[in-house]
Structure 1
Amino acid sequence: MESDLREIRGLPEGQLADWVTRRFPGGTSPQWWLSIFECLEASSTPLREATPSQRADDLNLAAEVILLAVELEGVRAAIGAYWMLRIAALSLRFDPVVSGLPSILTPDGSVEWALQQIPLTRERAITEAEIRKGEYLNAGEDFYAPVGGEVTPVDEVAFSGLHDVELILSALPWVCSHVEDEKTESEIRSWLEIQGDL
């Protein structure tokens, strides 16, 4: 992972997508993207010794990598939104602020982009939550994994739109108090108001 990150850091501007395609001709895994996100987050923390310019480079790179991961469908859009909010929240911890960051790492920019990744309307999310609660309440023995029995792993786990809504909503509070646009702030409030119903 460290060698991949070293190569990525050394790429000329605009070459990341080509590098990923060459490095993984058969496609990437979500785990690889998440490892890169985590490495960039760790390297950008205020606890790490780095120059302002190194910090700005890593934060900018994190935003670029997250956007590309979503574009290439290497991770679900909700995971990208979660991580963009996480990196935006990290960038707020610096005093003085890190200059030269893209607008998507501002509170307003990260929240606006994250809201665009929510796959359901509020009404549909509430309906899906009610359906899920009903399924849990009426579940039979075959719904749960057997205690002490063998569990057969599945190749791919299906994530519902509701799960993605919950993931994004869990990250919004990290930056929402810094949002300046009234319309965006109102949209956040509308979503957070229904969070307890999900």
Structure 2
Amino acid sequence: MGVESDLREIRRIPVDGISDWIRRRFPDGSFPQWWLAVFESLETSVSPLRDVAASRRRGDFELSVEVARLAVDIGGIRPPMGAYWILRLAAIALRFDPPVVGLPELLMPDGAAELALNRMPLSRERAIAASETRKAEYLAAGDDFYAPVGSKFSVSSEVDVRFSALQEVELILSALPWVSSAVTSKETSRNIDAWLEIRDRL
């Protein structure tokens, strides 16, 4: 079965039954690429450019939120990536005029931004420090830092985790501006501004 046929099946079952369906579909475990393909298909289906019934669009928004949640819980997607997906959906929702009625709170600018801020894998101070370390290591790198073409190489898990966390911070920061101007909470807006102020230092 392909992603589109999977998605047709998923649409026919209650949202709270999707998790069980996924486990039956992938008894040995699902994989991130499948979740990404499903998410991208749903993201296309909720586009303002698609002429679909309001109830279908709202249902696909709700389904997309559940996909983003389950992808983190059982699909091997890290929480910052899930938050990034939610920010993408919230940004799409903002393009509708009049707004789509009855969307989940997570797809409101405040809900999406708060989720993203809570899923930052590093503090601002640690993100700046990791960025400075990354820059210093690149500047000091000799020829042995780069893997010769066609050869195998390994990356230290410590460096990999440190830099992947920084990349996750950068991913979220790339998406926060999509909803920041529509956030109503002053505290959330202050937190977003504090993060965006350091973006050029990363």
- Asked if the contact 2:15–2:66 (Cα under 8 Å) also holds between the matched residues in 1, the reply is no
- Distance (Å, rounded) in 2 between the aligned partners of 1:71 and 1:180: 29
Greater displacement, 181-190 / 22-31: 22-31
Structure 1 equivalent of residue 141 of structure 2: 139
- Distance (Å, rounded) in 2 between the aligned partners of 1:23 and 1:73: 12
Q: How many residues align?
A: 194
- Asked if the contact 2:84–2:172 (Cα under 8 Å) also holds between the matched residues in 1, the reply is yes
Counterpart residue identity of residue 109, structure 1 = G
Counterpart residue identity of residue 17, structure 1 = S
Structure 2 equivalent of residue 19 of structure 1: 21
Structure 2 equivalent of residue 39 of structure 1: 41
Offset, 1:153: 8.1
Structure 2 equivalent of residue 88 of structure 1: 90
Cα RMSD between the aligned structures? 1.5
The reply on whether 1:196 has 2:200 as its aligned counterpart is: yes
The partner residue of 1:120 within 117, 122, 138 is: 122
- Asked if the contact 2:31–2:75 (Cα under 8 Å) also holds between the matched residues in 1, the reply is no
- Distance (Å, rounded) in 2 between the aligned partners of 1:6 and 1:73: 19
- Distance (Å, rounded) in 2 between the aligned partners of 1:129 and 1:3: 43
| TM-score, length basis structure 1 | 0.94
Structure 1 equivalent of residue 107 of structure 2: 105
The reply on whether 1:187 has 2:153 as its aligned counterpart is: no
User: Structure 1 residues 29 and 151, CA, compared in 2 at 3 Å: closer, same or farther?
Assistant: farther
The partner residue of 1:177 within 157, 175, 181 is: 181
- Asked if the contact 2:110–2:185 (Cα under 8 Å) also holds between the matched residues in 1, the reply is yes
- Distance (Å, rounded) in 2 between the aligned partners of 1:12 and 1:153: 46
Q: Percent identity?
A: 55
The partner residue of 1:164 within 151, 163, 168 is: 168
Counterpart residue identity of residue 128, structure 2 = I
The reply on whether 1:60 has 2:62 as its aligned counterpart is: yes
- Asked if the contact 2:80–2:116 (Cα under 8 Å) also holds between the matched residues in 1, the reply is yes
Counterpart residue identity of residue 55, structure 1 = R
Consecutive unaligned residues in structure 2, runs of 5 or more: none
Q: Residues 167-187 of structure 1, C-alpha deviation per residue, up to 9 Å, x if partnerless?
A: 111100000000000000000
- Distance (Å, rounded) in 2 between the aligned partners of 1:180 and 1:151: 52
| TM-score, length basis structure 2 | 0.92
Q: Residues 146-196 of structure 1, C-alpha deviation per residue, up to 9 Å, x if partnerless?
A: 2xx314487xx9452111111111100000000000000000000000011
User: Structure 1 residues 153 and 145, CA, compared in 2 at 3 Å: closer, same or farther?
Assistant: closer
Q: Which of structure 1's runs of 4+ aligned residues deviate more than 6 A?
A: none
Counterpart residue identity of residue 150, structure 1 = G
- Distance (Å, rounded) in 2 between the aligned partners of 1:28 and 1:48: 29
Counterpart residue identity of residue 172, structure 2 = I
- Distance (Å, rounded) in 2 between the aligned partners of 1:9 and 1:73: 18
Consecutive unaligned residues in structure 1, runs of 5 or more: none
- Distance (Å, rounded) in 2 between the aligned partners of 1:13 and 1:107: 23
- Asked if the contact 1:108–1:181 (Cα under 8 Å) also holds between the matched residues in 2, the reply is yes
